[in-house]
A = this chain, B = another copy of it.
Amino acid sequence: MESTRASGSDQPLDATVAVIDLPVRFAETDAMGIVHHSNYLVWFEAGRIAWMAAAGMPYSEIAAGGHHFAVTSVNVAYRTPARFGESVRVATRLTRLRSREVAFAYEVRRAGDDAFLASGVSEHICVDLQGRTAKIPDEVMAQLRQGTVAPANGA
C-alpha cells in the first residue's frame, strides 16, 4: 500500500496504523483551561479519515459514491487532559470489518513526550444517502481489507 502523510504527521502512515499529529486549537479549550472532551470525537474522526486515506480509500470518495459510515457508538476513556500549546498524536486502527459494519480503535498521546492522554473506540454502519443500512461497496471493502494487512516490505 502506498505510504502517505497525514496532515502534520511526523511519521509516515503504515498499512495498519494511521498516525496524525494535531496541534491543539485554542477554540478546542474550555474554561477549565484544557481541551473540551467533545473534541476527542472530532480527533478520532480525523484519525479514521487518515486511516482510510492511507488504505487508499479516501472517505470523501466513499461519500461521493453515496455511502457513509454512520456512527452507532463511541466510547472514550480520558486519562490526562490536553492543553493549548501541545500537539496530540492520534493512532488509529481498524478493529472490525464486516459486510455492513466497521469499528476503529484510537489512542491519543501528547506529541511532545508521548504521554498517554486518552483512548477510545467507535462503531459504524454503512448507510446509503437515504440513511438506510447498506452493504459496504465491494471496491471500498477491498481497499479497507488491504489496509488491515501490513505490506510485505513493512513500509
Contacts and interface: CB of A to CB of B under 8 A. Distances in A.
Query: Taking the full assembly, how many copies of this chain does it contain?
Result: 4
A7 B23 contact: yes
A108 to B, nearest CB: 14
Q: Would you call the interface of chain A mostly helix, strand, loop, or mixed? A: mixed
Interface in A57-84: 58-61, 63-64, 68, 70-78, 81, 83-84
Contacts of A22: 7
A29 interface: yes
A1 interface: no
A77 B72 contact: yes
A137 interface: no
**Residue among A21, A25, A36 facing the most chain B CB atoms (10 A cut-off):** A36
A73 B72 contact: no
A87 B7 CA distance: 9
A143 to B, nearest CB: 16
Interface of A: 7-8, 21-23, 25-27, 29-34, 36-39, 41-42, 45-46, 49, 58-61, 63-64, 68, 70-78, 81, 83-85, 87, 131
